[in-house]
Structure 1
Amino acid sequence: MITIYDIAKTTGFSPTTVSKVFNDYADVSPKTRRKILETAEQLGYLPNAHARSLTTKRSWTIGVLFNEPSGAGILHPYFAGVIEGFKKVSTSRGYDLMFISKDIGGKKSSYLEHCKIRGVDGVVVILPDFTDPYFLELLESNIPCVLLDQESDTKSTIYSDNIAGGILAVNYLHELGHRLIAHIGGGNTFAGEKRLQGYLQAMEGLGLPVDPEHVIQGSYDYTVESGRIAMEELLKASVLPSAVFAAGDNLAVGAMMAVKNQGLRVPEDISIIGFDDIEMVKFLTPALTTIRQDTYALGNKAADMLIYTIEGGEEVQSDMLPVELVIRESCRSL
């Protein structure tokens, strides 16, 4: 098997210099680098990732940037489904995944700097944070990116049909006879705003009044605790709603807890419907009726989009995946 020592002997450079070239050190002249790489190719030195890098000028590595403020990290149910779908496609196409942060070896840096240091070919951004200047710096760079749960004119995006999901939820509750339908929102997030928009559109379309006391914003991190606090506020309203549409399943779980803590029952006293269809909600008592988004398909499609851009595609793509109603036990007919 050809080694760096064979390349060193053929080119006349030291093994250290040859190693520096393959590890992309900057203190090697372009002429020396070119000769070593050409010799490596001629000798057939292609035993690892360097092989593809020599011929394709890519690292075959994709960065994963996940802005998740709740503290759940990779255990977050949205992330789990998305990353499994993304990994399935990207690894089948020969790419490895690497998590991107602003902290490299204890030193604070930017996402863009991290991407350049690691030489990633592109980045998938899950739940992008447009208030973060470091993220905006990455977005404005020429590194290929695909954004989940966001809209953009410059980068490809993929998200669920959140507006349709809100409409589905309200229409279903209306079919059950509910007229006083409240909403627990997902804060100032792309998905939260779209789901609120769907709720408002459906209420208007059905001719139902929207009581300001019945629209409570949960926090942008969609936590169970946030849902509990929001539901406690709803229970203080002068007229109680008969049903609640929560913008996320964790919010709905928190709302169910608050109802129980007040000595009330779901769905006998208040019906609750969520959004996401995370794994745990089917095991609740009562099992949660919800709007299902296909996080695995979101990850699949995001990988296809990003690899298309990495491999030379110039078109900025945008796609929206359908959602569906999953009926369980947390809503009842009036």
Structure 2
Amino acid sequence: MATIKDIALNANVSASTVSRVLNNDQTLSVATATRERILKIAEELQYKAVKKRKSGHKAVTGFAPKIGIVMQQSLEEELSDPYFLSIRQGIESECNARGIISTELFRINNQNGDQISEKDGLIIIGKLNEEIIKNYSSNIENIVYIDDSPDEDLYDSVVIDFEKATNKVLDHLLGIGYQRIGYIGGRQREYREQHDSREIAFKKRMKKEGTFREEDIYIGEYTMTQGYDLMKEAIKNASLPDAFFIASDPMAIGAEQALREANINVPNEVAIVGFDDIEMAKFAITPLTTVKVHTWEMGRAGVNLLLDRMNGRKMPVKVTFPTEITIRESCGSKSSIQKPLK
């Protein structure tokens, strides 16, 4: 039987693109010719969705569940920071692999909760306002959260341990000789008073090390532009930290550009570490050391949890994914760097 990978190989595109075309994802920006080529190859290979084959997955035997994917990000925000986009693509890929084609995407910027009442289950990506959660979930029993766990005694969730990931970064930077480390991060517009878990963990660890400086903390929004602006603000101060932990790769890439414009070398004068390991991180002017988050797999796991719930499981499950540091050139060893004379 033909698979999505077979179609992708023949069409010379990614499996993700094939999945989204077959699921009629209207947010996918792809040339008409490419879309038509994918559909033609799928037809020629006699591709059939998994639910049409003999399947051992009870969750999709006998009915096609209607699943809603709920996000707070606008399309523009999602495209500017691929973290949440990758989670969504993982969800869509797993749905397609299991023969579930009745999925619908809702963005809270332009959708109302009453439009989701007929779904068999919801997968919610990221944080949502409590009142919005109630509107979305009032008539829906099966709900999975990805990248948030508002009530682990009630809902399934897929998360990462932000505190552990932050400490991995600081272990690395402190271990290669950096002591004065700054932080650039963000907060969601809806939660301006709620500190990010990485920010909290950073402050806790640096206070424990006895090297915490409040003036080395810069907070904005999770965009490349904000990373650029916040680093510009840091450069204006009398002295810069030797290294920065930056809470998203797009922010880190923006920050690197600000340093470059100020003729400050990365990593010879300031080292930086990002977070997410998005594809563009390795193509930055100075390839970016960053925390790798398995966002695609988190999305797939969310679908599996939801189908398991639909299959009768009552006990909520919380899955915590591991993270790891991808070492690149942006954080050279402090002990091996000689700063240029000024």
TM-score bin (small chain): 0.7 to 0.9
CA contact (8 A) 1:70 1:223 kept: no
CA contact (8 A) 1:171 1:202 kept: no
2:303 and 2:79 map into 1 onto residues whose CA distance is 18
Matched residue, 2:201: 198
2:66 and 2:80 map into 1 onto residues whose CA distance is 23
Q: CA deviation at 1:306?
A: 1.1
CA contact (8 A) 2:87 2:299 kept: yes
Gap regions ≥5 residues in structure 2: 1-50, 53-59, 335-342
Q: Which amino acid aligns with 2:241?
A: P
The answer to whether the aligner puts 1:267 opposite 2:267 as a matched pair is yes
Gap regions ≥5 residues in structure 1: 1-47, 50-54
Matched residue, 2:141: 143
Q: Deviations over 1:143-183 (max 9, x none)?
A: 31111111222221111121111111111111121111000
1:331 and 1:230 map into 2 onto residues whose CA distance is 19
2:281 and 2:107 map into 1 onto residues whose CA distance is 31
Q: CA deviation at 1:137?
A: 1.6
Matched residue, 1:211: 213
Q: Deviations over 1:63-111 (max 9, x none)?
A: 11121158233574113321232223323333222112469xxxx8622
CA contact (8 A) 1:124 1:146 kept: yes
Q: Which amino acid aligns with 1:142?
A: I
CA contact (8 A) 1:213 1:237 kept: no
Q: Which amino acid aligns with 1:98?
A: E
Structure showing greater Rg:
1
CA contact (8 A) 1:184 1:216 kept: yes
Q: Which moved more, 1:258-267 or 1:86-95?
A: 86-95
Flag the 1:194–1:140 CA change in 2: closer, same or farther, 3 A. farther
CA contact (8 A) 1:272 1:288 kept: yes
Aligned pairs for 1:109-148 (under 5 A) are 110-111=112-113, 113-116=114-117, 119-130=118-129, 133-148=131-146
1:143 and 1:238 map into 2 onto residues whose CA distance is 55
Flag the 1:306–1:192 CA change in 2: closer, same or farther, 3 A. farther
Q: Which amino acid aligns with 1:123?
A: L
What TM-score do the two structures reach when normalised by structure 1?
A: 0.74
RMSD (Å) for aligned C-alpha atoms: 2.7
Flag the 1:276–1:63 CA change in 2: closer, same or farther, 3 A. same
Q: Which amino acid aligns with 1:114?
A: Q
2:80 and 2:230 map into 1 onto residues whose CA distance is 23
Q: CA deviation at 1:229?
A: 1.4
Q: How many aligned residue pairs are there?
A: 271
Q: CA deviation at 1:282?
A: 0.4
Flag the 1:317–1:60 CA change in 2: closer, same or farther, 3 A. same
Flag the 1:128–1:214 CA change in 2: closer, same or farther, 3 A. same
Q: CA deviation at 1:327?
A: 0.4
